[in-house]
Amino acid sequence: MSLAYTATDSAAPFQLRPVTPSVGAEVSGIDLTESLDEKAVAALRAALIEHGVLFFRDQPVTPDHQVAFARRFGHVPKVPDSMFLVHEANPHVSVLLNDADRPPTVNNWHSDYSFAPLPDFASVLRSVVVPDCGGDTVWAGMFAAWDGLPDRMQQHLDGLTATHDFMKLYERPVKKRLWEGERGRLMEAARREFPPVSHPVVRPHPESGRKALFVNESFTRHIDGMSEQESRHLLAFLFEHCKAPEFQVRFRWSPDCVAMWDNRSVIHYAVADFHPARRLMHRVTVLERLREG
């Protein structure tokens, strides 16, 4: 794309270093606590579309800084207090906290809100407290996963749709505590708000047009129009295919890192290897437009 910048562009408002050929790039020379000009925002957006996930180190942003940065790319909704803890100082920031009493329960490959009629565009995650060891996040590039399929499989998948279901993840036993007490009432409201929805198995990216797989093991329930057995086998193949190391980038967090990723072209996995250590993250969601309803 014409807006993309590289580390060799003398006019670039930042430096960009790809981490792997398939997905991920580190950004330096930019301060996310400052207001970015339109040129920088356009360049970051182009880099995000090209690389899927961007990493920023040494960014001591506040929740307000994080929200202001995210708003340069789209609509930032308030956090649904059913599924997530809400930051007390900013209702647009979700608090992801794990410690001895709150073991991690999202160690599944997923794309944020793929169960919604309008899935999330981007997620902006900041590390506040990280374990001395472990707690990495892994992303898989779904452009590369699509490109890595044989031609016959691509032809078979193109045009298919799949049902994504909020309950596929949240009905699991590890999520039991979310359904207890007052929070259970909020979760039931979320279940009603997000009934199962169908999305193309292969989605052209809305900005680049490049094709990406759009399935994930957390929320994709079945392939529409297939028998249960056929759907189960095909999804099992696709879920395993997307885990290939050639499609992945793994990020080791340190305090004050920010990762921004495009849910339309990557899936991610929070590695749950650090319990009972404390891990505290702040996340902000970006939508392409306001969700209906």
Active-site residue identified among 51, 268, 279, 282: 268
Q: Decide if 283 is catalytic.
A: yes
Q: Decide if 112 is catalytic.
A: yes
Active-site residue identified among 51, 112, 203, 264: 112
Give the DSSP per-residue string, the chain: -TT---TT-TT-SSEEEESSSSS-EEEES--TTSPPPHHHHHHHHHHHHHHSEEEE-S----HHHHHHHHHTSSB-PPPPTTTSEE-TT-TT-EEEEEBTTB-----S-B-TTTTSSS--SEEEEEEEE--SS---EEEEEHHHHHHTS-HHHHHHHTT-EEEE-HHHHHTSGGGGGGGSHHHHHHHHHHHHHS--EEEESEEE-TTT--EEE---TTTEEEETTS-HHHHHHHHHHHHHHHT-GGGEEEE---TT-EEEEETTTEEEEE----TTS-EEEEEEEEBSSPPP-
Q: Decide if 275 is catalytic.
A: no
Residues tagged active-site: 110, 112, 268, 283
